[in-house]
Amino acid sequence: MVRLIRMRRRGGFTLIEIMVVVLIIGILLAIAFPVFGRARETARTKSCMKNLRQISDAKEQYAMEFKKQEGDPVAFANLVPMYLKRMPECPSSGTYDPKLVGEKPTCTIEGHEL
């Protein structure tokens, strides 16, 4: 009579299987973090450009209403709150300069421009 010996296999994962899963997750995270950082910076740049466009539009309205000529100075005190609800803030902590009438406003952060 042949006895069949059954080997009991315990449930669960081996150490190697767990290490492979952790390695795969680590690789995926290493790929994902730089992508998220670039996406965040792109969103900040676009938001800054939107603010610059609003400043430019407000400056044009101010210049037309007060009959300002190209080259006349413009200050934010002339634009807020009449043409802008509030002073815009750069999402990357830059500062805005409205420039002269006829010039594009600028931001101190490189790459944030109209």
pLDDT above 90: percentage of residues in the chain? 38
Q: Is 37 within the bounds of a domain?
A: yes
Q: Is 4 within the bounds of a domain?
A: no
Q: Is 14 within the bounds of a domain?
A: no
Q: Is 96 within the bounds of a domain?
A: yes
**Residue 49 domain boundaries:** 29-107
Question: Binning pLDDT at 50, 70 and 90, where does residue 5 land?
Answer: low
Cα distance between residue 74 and residue 62, in whole Å:
9
Q: Is 74 within the bounds of a domain?
A: yes
Check whether 2 has a pLDDT greater than 90: no
Q: Is 17 within the bounds of a domain?
A: no
Q: Is 13 within the bounds of a domain?
A: no
Q: What's the whole-number mean pLDDT along residues 75-86?
A: 88
Q: Is 21 within the bounds of a domain?
A: no
Summarize pLDDT for 8-47 with one digit per residue, the tens: 566 778 899 999 999 999 999 998 888 888 999 999 999 9
| C-alpha pair distances (Å), 46 with each of 38, 49, 51, 91 | 12, 5, 9, 10
Domain count, the chain: 1
- Tell whether pTM > 0.85: no
